[in-house]
Structure 1
Amino acid sequence: MPRERDQMWEYAEEDGSRARCKFCGATYAGGISLLKYHWAQIKIRDVAICSSVLEFVKNIAVASVREMERKGSKKKAKTSDYIMKSSSSSFPSGDSTQAGSSPHSTSSLKGQPTITSMVKKKEKEVVDLLIMKSIIMNNLPFNLLRSDEFKEELVAIANHGPGHVPPSSETAITKLLGTLKEQVEEYIEEVKMSWTKTGCTLMSNIWTDGKNCPHINLLVASPKGVIFLKSECCVGKVKDASYVANFISSGIEEVGPENVVQVVADNGSNYVAAVDLMRVHTKGRDLQRPAVTRFATYFLCLRSILKQEEGLRYMVPSPDWRNLNQAKSDEGREVT
């Protein structure tokens, strides 16, 4: 059966016993093999680098050179194995100098880059350029390259091997998006379950979107992770200390007061006023909160309340206190 003609002859012409490059006119003896190195822009022997080759032809040539190197390595390994077997039967045991190659044959090649390493380096450059082109053409931020998820994606594609085809937009929107949603919901449940063991921190801030619409956000942080709890549009609302305090207090009720260790907010005047509402009436002193496993802290908590009794008595009749939703509840009226 005749040998199938190499597809890369499409970019070359036969010139007697030599092969001519259609891009730059360079000719080389030995068929199409040397032209592949020429197109792949890999320097070998007297083969020059083609500066006129098309990008996609260069990529094909790089892959073809790599395949030739792979087959050549297997062939050399079989030949070397045959020579060693023949040598062991022809020479006395222990006469390694006669049976083996010259002692300088290996050391003379040390430090020189192999063709395979050069091909892999060239292939990496091609892949890196394609990644950059994808980022630029889709107007993606460059810090995407710092993303662990992006790196995991590239590793997964490389491990999958050649021929990987990305999912269609229809599959991404229907099947894959639903699967990711389920994974996120499972993650959120795991984080919430950890709050009873480690406690959590509420984080809040007010920001303005591109349409000049203000929003107030509330996030929950714990050693297990950070999750977004809720957000509220502030249009038409007075974003004063009472409003901020009520919003944060509602988040505390959702998370569970027994799970909240602290509240972290920005340095806006309304946030500062909301956090300092109690401190105004207690002259800057905080109430000590009882711990779960320390019996003595209950007495310390009661003692701190007695110390601040006068300030607290002035606080509960104040308009700021009466405007809080918590003050209108049964527990709030009991505290008042």
Structure 2
Amino acid sequence: MKSKKKSGKQDPTWDHCTRVKDDNRMHLRSNYCGKDYWGGVIRMKNHLAETHNNVGACSQVFEDVMNMFLQLLSGKKQDNIIDVDCFEEKNIKGKSKGGTMDAYVTKGRAKQQSLNQMMKQREPVIRDICRVIYGHALAFNLVKSSLFKKMLKSVGEYGVGLKPPSYHEVRVSFLKKEVDNVNASLEVYRKEWKKTGCTIMSDGWTDGKSHSLTNFLVNSPSGTVFSKSIDTSDVIKNSMKLFEMLDDIVNEIGEENVVQVVTDSASAYVGASRLLEEKRTKLFWSPCAAHCLT
């Protein structure tokens, strides 16, 4: 009779092996290579996962099955709790009977070795990831990014043999796809702009190289979205140039959608905004409240 865990859920290992003899040693046979093993389900899991941990690797197991058992083993709690499924089984009458104390000690050591081995296998992988971060001066908080975690999850689910993206794929193919994806996600906001109108907001700042940069954002009841960032170092004090820049932004969003434009209250922006109001008579300019506080 097949053994079940305390939770009552069927162990997936039983779908990939056959119980040859119903005794305390749990004699199991792999459904792939046909080899027999004694000692419990954990040994069969390691056999199918090809961990070489206290058991030979299965030479004929399918790759997706191997990856599944690797994940099952790595997902177990890394402590010294003995898996009941390895040592406790049901007899024909349904009564529980355990193995000898030697069996508990032996299996416990085997499992602990498996956890240690998995930690050793993880170390070079983490080292390679860290080297990429160090070698390209990436921010350490990258590892907290949901995109970073999703990337690692996708790589892990793909399994062995993933070919990295080519230079062309990163620079052209997938960049275009991502731009299309972002534009598609903005459609919800664009529809809202047509219904309720929107506000164009500019936010100027200076980077570490003393370049004046201006971010343009669009606000509506649906939320605020980033439009673009422009290096305004050469035009920051020129009202006419700033007017032309603001006018282009209004064109991109659509004059019929823009209710107002918000900038700081610097003299160049004040002059540019007056020119904009003269040309675009249906919108008005407002100074940023943060720059009006004294």
The alpha-carbon deviation at position 130 of structure 1 amounts to: 1.3
Q: Secondary structure at the match of 2:160?
A: coil
The alpha-carbon deviation at position 158 of structure 1 amounts to: 0.3
Q: Report the counterpart of residue 55 of structure 1 in structure 2.
A: none
Tell me if structure 2 keeps the 8 A contact 1:208–1:214: yes
Q: Deviations over 1:92-117 (max 9, x none)?
A: x46755xx524896599779963222
User: What TM-score does the superposition give when structure 2 sets the normalisation length?
Assistant: 0.50
Q: Report the counterpart of residue 168 of structure 2 in structure 1.
A: 170
* Alpha-carbon separation, structure 2, partners of 1:206 and 1:177: 27
Seen in structure 2, the aligned counterparts of structure 1 residues 151 and 261 have a Cα distance that, compared at 3 Å, is farther
Q: Report the counterpart of residue 187 of structure 1 in structure 2.
A: 185
The percentage of aligned residue pairs carrying the same residue is 27
The alpha-carbon deviation at position 153 of structure 1 amounts to: 0.9
* Alpha-carbon separation, structure 1, partners of 2:267 and 2:187: 29
Unaligned runs of 5+ residues in structure 2 are 1-48, 59-84, 284-294
* Alpha-carbon separation, structure 1, partners of 2:94 and 2:236: 94
- Paired residues in the alignment total 207
Q: Deviations over 1:271-319 (max 9, x none)?
A: 8984xxxxxxxxxxxxxxxxxxxxxxxxxxxxxxxxxxxxxxxxxxxxx
Q: Report the counterpart of residue 6 of structure 2 in structure 1.
A: none
User: What TM-score does the superposition give when structure 1 sets the normalisation length?
Assistant: 0.45
Aligned match of 1:324 in 265, 269, 275?
275
The structure with the largest strand share of the pair is 2
Tell me if structure 2 keeps the 8 A contact 1:244–1:271: no
Q: Report the counterpart of residue 114 of structure 2 in structure 1.
A: 116
RMSD of Structure 2 on Structure 1 (CA): 4.8
Given the alignment of the two structures, is residue 202 of structure 1 paired with residue 153 of structure 2, yes or no? no
* Alpha-carbon separation, structure 2, partners of 1:321 and 1:134: 46
Tell me if structure 2 keeps the 8 A contact 1:321–1:327: no
The alpha-carbon deviation at position 66 of structure 1 amounts to: 5.9
Q: Secondary structure at the match of 1:238?
A: coil
The alpha-carbon deviation at position 122 of structure 1 amounts to: 2.2
Q: Report the counterpart of residue 270 of structure 1 in structure 2.
A: 266
* Alpha-carbon separation, structure 2, partners of 1:200 and 1:262: 7
Given the alignment of the two structures, is residue 67 of structure 1 paired with residue 51 of structure 2, yes or no? yes
* Alpha-carbon separation, structure 1, partners of 2:114 and 2:196: 53
- Larger Rg: 1 or 2? 1
The alpha-carbon deviation at position 161 of structure 1 amounts to: 0.4
| AA of the residue aligned to 2:266 | N
| AA of the residue aligned to 2:122 | K
Aligned match of 1:137 in 126, 135, 138?
135
Q: Secondary structure at the match of 1:154?
A: helix
* Alpha-carbon separation, structure 2, partners of 1:229 and 1:322: 19
Q: Report the counterpart of residue 32 of structure 1 in structure 2.
A: none
The structure with the largest helix share of the pair is 1
Aligned ranges 1:70-149 → 2 under 5 Å: 71=55, 88=92, 93=93, 97=97, 100-102=98-100, 106=104, 114-149=112-147
The alpha-carbon deviation at position 194 of structure 1 amounts to: 3.5
Q: Secondary structure at the match of 2:186?
A: helix
| AA of the residue aligned to 2:138 | L
